Amino acid sequence: MNRYLDIAPEVREALAAGRPVVALESTIISHGMPYPQNVETALRVEETIREGGAVPATIAIIGGRLKAGLSKSEIEHLGKKGRAVAKASRRDLPVLVAKGEDGATTVTTTMIIAAMAGIRVFATGGIGGVHRGAETSMDISADLEELAHTPVMVICAGAKSILDLGLTLEYLETKGVPVIGYGTEELPAFYTRSSGFKVDYRLDSPEELAAAFRAKLEMGLEGGMLVTNPIPEEYSMDPERIGAAIQEALAEADAKGIHGKETTPFLLARIKDITGGDSLAANIQLVLNNARLAAATAKCLAEN
């Protein structure tokens, strides 16, 4: 057992008994949404996992401890502290732990801590990827490298639509990461159901997802699997409207010199403002949709 890792009692008992567990990230709490919607959404997502027959394990760093499973008070703590909490990627873990500080986990660090705890399925909103203009900025999310190395299935609504989705898919192909479309042959684009880019494979049931990931694990193949689950039709945003909002937000970020780990939180906040809050409502619904699929898939994976 990793001496820096604390597994919540409910999560520990479920893992020991072979029951399904789903990991959840905490950056969405501290950096993805304003308070109190962030806390309300986090608790609602946990409840959705429970309704689906699995145990939720929200992951974070609290007081220098790696946490697999948070209490309501710890979720409230992260939500109120907001962006004052460090956004923790792989490079940040040693210093945050050594200094006894808090950290909100990205897709990357949620995968790392989930794997340490023995959790195989992780539900999130959207992954990071290759940023627009990366040919000059070299701004590529660490999420892609983690997917190449860490054995966790990540269920998301595609890569965030603020990214260069074509280059993100090319990068994942180079790294040998299977990109699965759940019920679709096209990559979802976070706020919208399709980006126009093809995924590697279409699978249509949690049973198929679990079988594919089980085969990957049993063959000893390195890395994870990316499952892209389109936002429900009734919550999908108009592509032209969200595209215009993204372009406006990108121009503002460039004018203000915002880069690195601050880029995505800034863009998501500005897109929310530009769309009058509609993008936040869509974000919440796609996360809940991913949680439902993750719970069903974790149950199938636990059955064998």
Q: pLDDT by residue (tens digit) across 1-49? A: 589 999 999 999 999 999 999 999 999 999 888 899 899 999 999 999 9
Q: Work out the angle between the directed axes of helices 239-256 and 263-274 (0-180°, nearest 10).
A: 130
**Mean pLDDT of all residues in 252-269:** 77
Determine the pLDDT at residue 148.
Answer: 97
Q: What percent of the chain has pLDDT over 70?
A: 96
Q: Which of 10-14, 178-182, 277-281 has the lowest mean pLDDT?
A: 277-281
Q: Is 259 helix (H, G, I), strand (E, B) or coil?
A: coil
Options 67, 87, 160, 272, the catalytic residue: 160
Is residue 170 over pLDDT 70? yes
Determine the pLDDT at residue 135.
Answer: 66
What is the number of domains present in the chain?
1
Options 25, 46, 74, 76, the catalytic residue: 25
The full DSSP string for 89-112 is -GGGHHHHHHHT--EEE-HHHHHH
**Angle 44-46-50 from CA coordinates, rounded to 5°:** 110
User: Residue 68 is part of a domain; what is its CATH number?
Assistant: 3.40.1790.10
Strands 55-62 and 65-68: antiparallel
**Mean pLDDT of all residues in 211-225:** 97
Q: Work out the angle between the directed axes of helices 263-274 and 278-302 (0-180°, nearest 10).
A: 120
Burial of 219 (0-12, 13-18, 19+ CB in 10 A): exposed
CB 188 within 8 A of CB 198: no
Write the pLDDT tens digit of every residue in 66-87. 999 999 999 999 999 999 999 9
pTM: 0.91
Determine the pLDDT at residue 136.
Answer: 64
Is residue 264 over pLDDT 90? no
Q: Kindly provide the residue ranges of all beta strands, DSSP E only, lying in the chain, ordered along the sequence.
A: 5-7, 21-24, 55-62, 65-68, 86-88, 103-105, 121-123, 153-156, 179-182, 201-203, 225-228
Q: Which of 42-46, 132-136, 272-276 has the lowest mean pLDDT?
A: 132-136
Domain that holds residue 213: 5-302
| 87 flagged as catalytic | no
| 47 flagged as catalytic | no
